[in-house]
Chain A
């Protein structure tokens, strides 16, 4: 199938009645969950996965993509209204968004955020449409050694996912990798670390880990903070109108950060968080009045909002075309693909064009939905922030339970969920970041497979990884992209 035909199929899938409906559901639910303090895109995607069971894979994935960028947008809303970013990707949004809300201009801030998100999202989808197929057509000839290089490149994201100690991030990743070795080895049939328990033969389901380490662990934090009333103070949203002057101010940051954010999103590990910070800092540096930043500057709000949404679409490039996630969130999204029986990677575009192009096409729609549906509804949606904490806690636990039970139909997995919830909670307490764990868990299985396949081809000779120019390049890139953030970190400390 030619690519034009593929694109047509994709648009047909996305713009069918079903497609439109599920984009809307996804975006709305994503915004809802993303707004809840503590719950970010990872929890949102993980909680929604069971709903996609029995759905057509392309519809299900279109919805999940909607949940993803909906949640990123929802995070901005709580950053602006409450100064409580649900996720790290919207921390920079609160720098100028919250001051603006305090000045009684919450509505305006939300409108700026929505328009900036829309611009960043739309521009980057166009770039995604150009870049993903190009990358996929290069990657289609990759053998196991090159795949190993790719997975390795994906894993280097760990270095930049560490919030404090890199050692802790690496430990988190190694343990995540260990967790995926549990089960029957697909290549030799050897039972590994199952203790003879039949429930472990197929390994631990990724949803158990995602919901445990994120949703359930966040519940622990919510329980401790349930008396904290500062989060439920009511904000008057006010008018949503933006003046011509303000729109003029937004244009510069929006046009620059759409591109910067997109390319940072493509890189493994960079993602929305780094993109939003770089966007903010960059605009502050080139602004004529940098002193306005941090006090409710229009530019200071538009920049990170454009950048984080552009990065969100950018992250789909390696995910769709190479099958490697560059962040914890895209790792969970990859898990959602696998649950629906879809393997993202270079073959996706050829074998399942309706999915590949359907997701991309749906993102145009999703961005419009974000703007048109969410903006007028924001005052109502923000009511969700008034849900009493105790009730919210009980409901999040309930959703996680259903999610896991609906895939395994066994209470064993539910006990595992509690176990990983406790682990996730402890990791938070002791400052071990959880995203490297889930990233290594998702990539680990594929990494091991391509590693052993390569060595089987070469009869155990490690030179196979250095002989092919593609895998050699990828390995060198991995080493560089791993070391670079560390060096930068060291410089900052010194």
Chain B
């Protein structure tokens, strides 16, 4: 089954191009100009259609190594999803609990989850880094990070 992966991707890209084109053709027009905001997007949409079709028909030039790269064990996929989940939770809690607290928790649990078992080093790093960065940003660079539940 040569090229099936390319074909699947090309269909996804075609769907993306179609979606983009539909939105482009529905853009409101602006009366006072000859060159409207939809001109370039229209071109881009059709260009993507063209390249997707090309991708559908060209011979798959993928090397064995590239194919091998896609061969991720199921366990690792679950790990990847779990880390993504942790990141999403981090973002969700960032403005609620504050930068230092959430980051410390994230760094600690994320590295623990990924197999780092030295608790004390891990705890020190996950507290020191966020505190130092928080000080650097808020005091030195004058960029506010979410303070959250911390008193300072």
A contact residues around B126 at 8 Å (CB): 394
Closest beta carbon of chain A to B19's beta carbon, Å: 10
Q: Which of B20, B79, B115 contacts A178 (CB 8 A)?
A: B20
* Cα separation A219 to B45 with both chains bound (whole Å): 31
- What is the CA–CA distance of A479 and B85 in the complex, to the nearest angstrom? 45
Complex CA distance for A170 and B125, rounded to whole angstroms: 42
Interchain CB contact under 8 A, B58 and A220:
no
A391 touches B76 (CB 8 A): no
In this assembly, does B33 line the interface, its C-beta being within 8 Å of a C-beta of chain A? Answer: yes
Asked if A197 is an interface residue, CB under 8 A from chain B, the answer is no
- State whether A394 and B33 are in contact (beta carbons under 8 Å apart), knowing that A174-B44, A226-B115 are contacts in the complex: no
Q: Contact: B36 with A224, CB < 8 Å?
A: no
- Mask, A398-429, CB within 8 Å of B = 1, is 10011001100101001100100010000011
In the assembled complex, the Cα of A192 lies from the Cα of B83 at a distance in Å of 33
Establish whether residues A190 and B27, one from each chain, have CB atoms under 8 Å apart when the complex forms. yes
B40 touches A188 (CB 8 A): no
B129 / chain A contacts, CB cutoff of 8 Å: 395, 398
B4: interface (CB < 8 Å): no
**Bound complex: CA A388 to CA B88 (Å):** 23
A394 touches B107 (CB 8 A): yes
Q: Do A460 and B40 have beta carbons less than 8 Å apart?
A: no
Does chain B have a CB within 8 A of A185? yes
Q: Determine how close the nearest CB of chain A comes to the CB of B22; give it in whole angstroms.
A: 11
Q: Is B2 an interface residue (CB 8 A)?
A: no
- Interface code B52-96, partner A: CB below 8 Å = 1, 0 otherwise? 101100100111001001101000100110011001101110110
Q: Are A394 and B55 in contact (CB under 8 A)?
A: no
Q: How large is the interface on A (under 10, 10 to 19, 20 to 34, 35 or more residues)?
A: 35 or more
* Cα–Cα distance between A411 and B148 once the two chains are bound (Å): 14
Please count how many residues in chain B sit with their CB below 8 Å of the partner chain's CB atoms: 70
Check if A405 sits within 8 Å of B106, measured CB to CB.
Answer: no
Contact with A along B115-137 (1 / 0, CB 8 A): 11010001001100110010001
Question: Could you say which residues of chain A place their CB within 8 Å of the CB of B48?
Answer: 171, 174-175, 178
Interface residue B149 (Cβ < 8 Å from any Cβ of A): no
Complex-state Cα separation, A388 to B125, whole angstroms: 12
B130 to chain A, nearest CB (A): 7
Q: Does B51 contact A (CB under 8 A)?
A: yes
Q: Which of B48, B58, B107, B114 has the most chain A CB atoms closer than 10 A to its own CB?
A: B114
Chain B residue with Cβ nearest A451: B40
Complex interface: stretch among A24-32, A131-139, A161-169, A305-313:
A161-169
Q: Identify which of A192, A224, A388, A460 contacts B35 (C-beta below 8 A).
A: A460
A48-56, A203-211, A241-249 - interface stretch: A48-56
Taking CB atoms, residues of chain A closer than 8 Å to B38 are 190, 192
For the complex, give the distance between the alpha carbons of A411 and B40 in Å: 30
6 A–B contacts from the bound complex (CB under 8 Å): A50-B143, A171-B13, A171-B51, A178-B44, A223-B76, A418-B87
Task: Mark B residues whose CB is within 8 Å of A.
Answer: 5, 9, 13, 16, 20, 23, 27-28, 30, 33-41, 44-45, 47-48, 51-52, 54-55, 58, 61-63, 66, 69-70, 72, 76, 79-80, 83-84, 87-88, 90-92, 94-95, 99, 103, 106-107, 110-116, 118, 122, 125-126, 129-130, 133, 137, 141-145
